[in-house]
Chains A and B, each alone.
Chain A
Amino acid sequence: MYLYDTIDQLLVDQRVEQFRDQVRRRMAGALSEDEFKPLRLMNGLYLQLHAYMLRVAIPYGTLSSDQMRKLVHIAEVYDKGYGHFTTRQNIQFNWPKLEQTPDILAELAAVQMHALQTSGSCIRNVTADQYAGAAAGEVADPRIVAEAIRQWSTLHPEFTFLPRKFKIAVTGSARDRAAVRVHDIGIVIKRNDQGEIGYEIIVGGGLGRTPMIGVKLREFLPERYLLSYLEAVLRVYNQAGRRDNKYKARIKILVHETGGEAFTSLVEAEWEQIRDSAVELPVGEYARIAEFFAPPPFEILSGDDGDYARDRLMDRDFANWARTNVASHKQPGYAIVNITLKPEGGIPGDATSEQMDAVATLAEQFSFSEIRVTHEQNLVLPYVRQADLYAVWQTLKRNGLATPNLGLISDIIACPGMDYCGLATARSIPLAQDISKRFADLEQQHHIGELKLKISGCINACGHHHVGHIGILGVDKRGEEFYQITLGGSADEAPSIGKIVGPAVAYDKVVDAIETLTDTYLAIRAGDERFVDTVRRAGVDPFKEALYADH
């Protein structure tokens, strides 16, 4: 894992003291709320429905056990004993006091964490594939690039007041687990025929009220030009992005109004001007960062572990969990463990302080003290010996963390919705809970197979509903909660935006509607095709007919 140097630490420490003074002046009346609000937002502090909310950055979703324990401490001392992991691989605390926030930030700084750029019209926390450094078939670890971008973009003076927020995601695998094509900038690390590393650059994707798939600007940008090229993209956006209408201010609107080719030309022209003068990451600095992400000291194991195979034969529950929640590792004899935060009837992404502490301990014992947060609101232990999987599973089970549902219909992304969020027009979480209860039968979930269900409580789409195989969007209809259903979305390497299947349905009809959709899928699927593939092949009409047959 990356460790702060003195510059990183000084910057974060100074920011804590700066904010402490700002809070003091706000409480004393020297700053009005209008003056203070942008300052608190720059430090990740929002005001939500019930209280303040602090969003803490987890760069590229990587956490150490010590950092996780600090989050446990914050949850217990300053909050209500739980945290909420988000689709930006961050964590949110829902009940911090303004007066205590500087102390919380100081606690975070002590473990090299902060809440910078988790809000505001700036470059937000860079996200990455949660299997970074562990995935079989990975071209390169995306965290090296993500960390370089973090350093480059942190408090970048030119990009602190962009037209709107700006999100970057990086993957080092052909299999896209980071949703790079629906980001403002998506980066895919590639290797060419000469064995050189380069980057596919995708720009102008996004969700929200105008969902769009990004446009490919570069198929293979040479490695040494990454930061200058990103700077060129940001410069074009900063100059030409709309500031007159916040709903048209994201780069996706600029890209699509300008046209992909024309936008690419603007970026290339800007880049020609700065490519030799812009600050580029020195080779030595890249190597320094890369050292932090060197593989941990794996044991040299010959291959699949015999005990692991035996344990699966002996214990069916363990076998079920291993089947869904354990992924292949690039290191022989090791595995990637997915911990879904989606128990039956649970709140997607929520973890109690006890659960977080248990994960920290497991990581310490079995995963070189490293944890990942996924954009699908789950956790990952990236480096577990196959021989240790049974012990890990048993501990997870004791802590309510062993639900074997990764990628299944109950592994739902849901934004906080109107239960917490000041922007929401409807609730999201109760629907996720009801759906997970309706589909509690794991055999049925496996029978349905891979199905990404995503729920947003408003058009801002924090729950990524547009790219759900089934997407659910909450809307307010004359004071009543209604839900628009979309089908066929996907955020992977074959991305698509879901299509609206018909009129919105009332809150108490949604779970039945979802079951109608899965029943229809099971009736018409060809062979073992996934839900999303059936929608792509058959279109939404069969689902629409089934859903609205009585209307």
Chain B
Amino acid sequence: MINQVISANRLGDGIVVYLTANGDWSERIANAHVIDGQDRVEAALSQSCDAVKACLIIDPYSIDIDDSDGEIRPTRNRELIRALGPTVRLDIGKQATL
């Protein structure tokens, strides 16, 4: 099965965040907890519900990633753009401070 990470948007500012191994939410996909197996994904999504109830994040969901070279990279264009920022404005979004 393809590896996955959990992503959401932060409630207060809408910024894209990722679930880390210690249960925090990071703006960097590089800090995301990589999960394999449907059971673990379900458990992580369940864990995310606590952050939803705590009004930290909204709409958590799992995304497919490729980390075969050690770097976490979403497999879909949409998620790649969410992880970095608009491809037409490299000066804004997460990519601006990488």
Known contacts A33-B59, A50-B82, A479-B75; is-contact A27 B12 (Cβ 8 Å): yes
* A51 contacts partner chain B, Cβ-Cβ < 8 Å: yes
Q: Which residues of B contact A26 (CB under 8 A)?
A: 11, 55
* A99 contacts partner chain B, Cβ-Cβ < 8 Å: yes
* A98 contacts partner chain B, Cβ-Cβ < 8 Å: yes
Q: Which of A388-438 contact B (CB under 8 A)?
A: 418-420, 424, 427, 429-430, 433
Checking A50, A95, A430 against B88 with a beta-carbon cut-off of 8 angstroms, the contacting residue is A430
State the Cβ distance, A473 to closest chain B Cβ, in Å: 16
* A481 contacts partner chain B, Cβ-Cβ < 8 Å: yes
Whole-angstrom CA separation of A463 from B13 in the bound complex: 27
Whole-angstrom CA separation of A99 from B89 in the bound complex: 25
Q: Which residues of A contact B78 (CB under 8 A)?
A: 49, 418, 424
Whole-angstrom CA separation of A48 from B85 in the bound complex: 12
Whole-angstrom CA separation of A50 from B87 in the bound complex: 12
| Closest B residue by C-beta to A346 | B88
Checking B15, B52, B53, B77 against A479 with a beta-carbon cut-off of 8 angstroms, the contacting residue is B77
| Closest A residue by C-beta to B53 | A29
Whole-angstrom CA separation of A430 from B11 in the bound complex: 29
Q: Which residues of B contact A50 (CB under 8 A)?
A: 14-16, 82, 85-86, 93
* A234 contacts partner chain B, Cβ-Cβ < 8 Å: no
Q: Which residues of B contact A418 (CB under 8 A)?
A: 77-78, 81
Q: Which residues of A contact B3 (CB under 8 A)?
A: none
* A97 contacts partner chain B, Cβ-Cβ < 8 Å: yes
Known contacts A27-B55, A49-B81; is-contact A347 B88 (Cβ 8 Å): yes
Q: Main SS of the interface on chain B?
A: loop
Whole-angstrom CA separation of A26 from B56 in the bound complex: 11
Q: Which of A81-104 contact B (CB under 8 A)?
A: 95, 97-99
* B19 contacts partner chain A, Cβ-Cβ < 8 Å: no
| Closest B residue by C-beta to A476 | B77
- List B residues at the A interface (Cβ < 8 Å): 9, 11-16, 52-55, 58-59, 75-78, 81-82, 85-89, 92-93
State the Cβ distance, A33 to closest chain B Cβ, in Å: 5
Checking A80, A97, A479 against B13 with a beta-carbon cut-off of 8 angstroms, the contacting residue is A97
State the Cβ distance, B23 to closest chain A Cβ, in Å: 19
| Closest B residue by C-beta to A98 | B12
Known contacts A50-B86, A479-B75; is-contact A419 B14 (Cβ 8 Å): no
Q: Which of A23-40 contact B (CB under 8 A)?
A: 26-29, 33
Whole-angstrom CA separation of A81 from B89 in the bound complex: 12
| Closest B residue by C-beta to A51 | B14
Whole-angstrom CA separation of A97 from B77 in the bound complex: 25
Known contacts A419-B87, A429-B88; is-contact A51 B77 (Cβ 8 Å): no
Q: Which residues of A contact B85 (CB under 8 A)?
A: 50
Whole-angstrom CA separation of A429 from B59 in the bound complex: 27
Checking B16, B58, B86 against A33 with a beta-carbon cut-off of 8 angstroms, the contacting residue is B58
CB pair A419 B55 closer than 8 Å: no
Whole-angstrom CA separation of A50 from B77 in the bound complex: 14
Known contacts A33-B58, A80-B92; is-contact A98 B82 (Cβ 8 Å): no
Q: Which residues of A contact B75 (CB under 8 A)?
A: 479
Given A430-B87, A479-B75, A479-B76, 17 other A-B contacts at CB below 8 A?
Answer: A26-B11, A27-B55, A29-B53, A29-B55, A33-B58, A47-B9, A49-B82, A50-B85, A50-B86, A50-B93, A51-B9, A51-B16, A52-B14, A418-B77, A427-B88, A433-B88, A481-B77
Q: Which of A313-333 contact B (CB under 8 A)?
A: none
Whole-angstrom CA separation of A33 from B49 in the bound complex: 12
**Most chain B beta-carbon neighbours within 10 Å: one of A49, A420, A479:** A49
Checking B13, B15, B55, B86 against A420 with a beta-carbon cut-off of 8 angstroms, the contacting residue is B86
Could you jot down 22 A-B contacts, CB within 8 Å? A29-B55, A47-B59, A49-B78, A49-B81, A51-B15, A52-B14, A80-B92, A95-B92, A97-B14, A98-B13, A98-B14, A99-B13, A347-B88, A419-B81, A419-B88, A419-B89, A427-B88, A429-B86, A430-B87, A430-B88, A479-B77, A481-B77
Q: Which residues of B contact A29 (CB under 8 A)?
A: 53-55
CB pair B81 A98 closer than 8 Å: no
